């Protein structure tokens, strides 16, 4: 493998790229095999295959640990490298079935710390593990990884990075489209007709407090509320809802990003939930889920509606599968049409993995792919590091 190979790939009219992502929910790695043509605003994308490899519960628990020492970090990085490599190999097999060959792997890795620049933060940093050397070694394919650091170095939040890909996939000549991804954290991209106008930010909590509340209410038995079925049988508890909507993050102006540090269950859920007080579990689930929908709708009301009328909101991420959350979101965002990415023909679970394939393509072409209007970076930057 050599640098000439990257030069050669850059010159090709189309490339087959595997994008891989492990989000804040720590549920598994998503891998998408994508055919990418050209680059920049002319990029064309076709999804060929997609797969999620779920993490075994002990690994998930280790990733969710409040603290880890250097040995654990290095060990986890190699273990995740192996799992990502398995997912990449599955995509290589899918490529063979489809008569093509994987040219490049774009790995977001897994975030274990994210402290973006803030006025009130002394230090800042972001740290994604998942050893790219392991992925390159197992697959024999060059890997581009570690996308967030360059944006943070350029004064940005390092997140969200999907806006460039959202624009490539969803821009319309005369419409403003909201691309909402509900992972552990929820983020929205305002896809404007012109790429230079795109902006995006993390609205705040997504599935993270829903999963956390479910874990607490079920004494660790369940890690999510399937389809929102528990929440659907509960009543909102107004006093708790008020507490959940009272957080400084919601008033902060975009660009902004957040993570488990602010919206993990220990940091965000009120004491009454943490103590499993007298509430009915379904009522807690209804309250937390409605709170998530309201934080998204309020972010729209405060920061998007005054600038652009959205024609529709397209929802992706695991949260799109939570029927109760989708219902609450439709009610809160009325009269804007709210649809899942799946309904538009693009599998919502694959969207972030596809996005990293698109970002990897830009990095390969030595083009910047952070959107300063989304991350707050001082300048556009070429993201990622190559392992060949």
Please say which residue, 160 or 368, places its beta carbon nearer to ligand ADP: 160
227 makes contact with ligand ADP (CB under 6 A): yes
**Nearest distance, CB of residue 111 and ligand ADP, angstroms:** 10
Which residue's entry shows tokens 């930010």? 201
Please say which residue, 255 or 317, places its beta carbon nearer to ligand ADP: 317
Please say which residue, 299 or 325, places its beta carbon nearer to ligand ADP: 325
289 makes contact with ligand ADP (CB under 6 A): no
Cis geometry, peptide bond prior to residue 160 (ω within 30 degrees of 0): yes
* d(C-alpha 148, C-alpha 135), whole Å: 19
Task: Give the three-state DSSP class for 187.
Answer: strand
207 makes contact with ligand ADP (CB under 6 A): yes
**Nearest distance, CB of residue 188 and Mg ion, angstroms:** 18
318 makes contact with ligand ADP (CB under 6 A): yes
**Nearest distance, CB of residue 304 and Mg ion, angstroms:** 25
| Partner in contact with 166, chosen from Mg ion, ligand ADP, none, beta carbon below 5 to 8 Å by kind | none
Q: From 384, 371, 381, 383, select the one nearest 188 (Cα to Cα).
A: 371
Please say which residue, 141 or 292, places its beta carbon nearer to ligand ADP: 292
321 makes contact with ligand ADP (CB under 6 A): yes
Give the ranges where 221-280 is alpha helix by DSSP (H): 229-232, 238-245, 260-263, 265-268, 271-274
CA contacts within 13 A on the Cβ side of 238: 0
| Residue 44 burial class via C-beta count within 10 angstroms: exposed 0-12, middle 13-18, buried 19 and up | exposed
**Nearest distance, CB of residue 230 and ligand ADP, angstroms:** 10
24 makes contact with ligand ADP (CB under 6 A): yes
Please say which residue, 22 or 139, places its beta carbon nearer to Mg ion: 22
Please say which residue, 23 or 228, places its beta carbon nearer to Mg ion: 23
Handedness of CA 168, 170, 171, 173 (dihedral sign): positive
Q: From 159, 181, 158, 182, select the one nearest 170 (Cα to Cα).
A: 181
Task: Give the three-state DSSP class for 373.
Answer: helix
* DSSP letter assigned to residue 128: E
**Nearest distance, CB of residue 23 and ligand ADP, angstroms:** 2
Q: Which residues bind ligand ADP (CB under 6 A)?
A: 23-25, 27, 183-184, 207, 210-211, 224-228, 317-319, 321-322, 352
């Amino acid at each position: 493998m050599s640098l000439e190979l990257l030069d050669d790939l850059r010159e090709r009219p189309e490339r087959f790229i595997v994008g891989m992502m492990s989000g804040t929910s720590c549920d598994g790695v998503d891998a998408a095999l994508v055919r990418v043509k050209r680059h920049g605003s002319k990029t064309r994308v076709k999804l060929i295959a997609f797969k999620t490899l779920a993490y075994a519960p002990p690994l998930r628990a280790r990733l969710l640990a409040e603290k880890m020492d250097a040995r654990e970090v290095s060990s986890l990085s190699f273990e995740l490298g192996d799992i990502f490599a398995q997912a990449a190999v599955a995509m290589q097999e899918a490529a063979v079935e489809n008569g093509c060959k994987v040219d490049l792997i774009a790995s977001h890795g897994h975030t274990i710390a994210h402290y973006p620049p803030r006025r009130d933060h002394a230090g800042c940093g972001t740290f994604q593990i998942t050893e790219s050397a392991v992925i390159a070694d197992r697959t024999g394919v060059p890997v581009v990884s570690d996308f967030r650091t360059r944006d943070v170095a350029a004064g940005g939040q390092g997140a969200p990075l999907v806006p460039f890909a959202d624009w490539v996939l969803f821009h319309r000549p005369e419409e403003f489209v909201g691309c909402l991804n509900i992972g552990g954290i929820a983020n929205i991209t305002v896809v404007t007709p012109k790429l230079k106008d795109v902006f995006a930010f993390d609205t705040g909590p997504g599935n993270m407090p829903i999963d956390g509340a479910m874990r607490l209410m079920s004494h660790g038995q369940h890690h999510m509320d399937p389809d929102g079925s528990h929440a659907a049988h509960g009543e909102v508890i107004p006093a708790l809802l008020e507490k959940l909507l009272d957080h400084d993050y919601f008033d902060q102006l975009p660009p902004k990003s957040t993570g488990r540090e602010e919206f993990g269950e220990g940091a965000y859920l009120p004491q009454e939930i943490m103590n499993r007080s007298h509430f009915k579990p379904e009522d807690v689930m209804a309250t937390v889920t409605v709170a998530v929908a309201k934080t998204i709708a309020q972010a729209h009301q405060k920061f998007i509606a005054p600038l652009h009328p959205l024609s529709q909101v397209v929802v992706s991420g695991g949260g799109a599968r939570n029927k109760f959350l989708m219902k609450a979101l439709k009610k809160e965002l009325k009269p804007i049409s709210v649809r899942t990415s799946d309904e538009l023909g693009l599998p919502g679970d694959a969207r972030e993995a596809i996005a990293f394939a698109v970002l990897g393509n830009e990095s390969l072409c030595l083009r910047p792919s952070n959107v300063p209007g989304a991350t707050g970076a001082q300048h556009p930057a070429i993201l990622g590091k190559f392992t060949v």
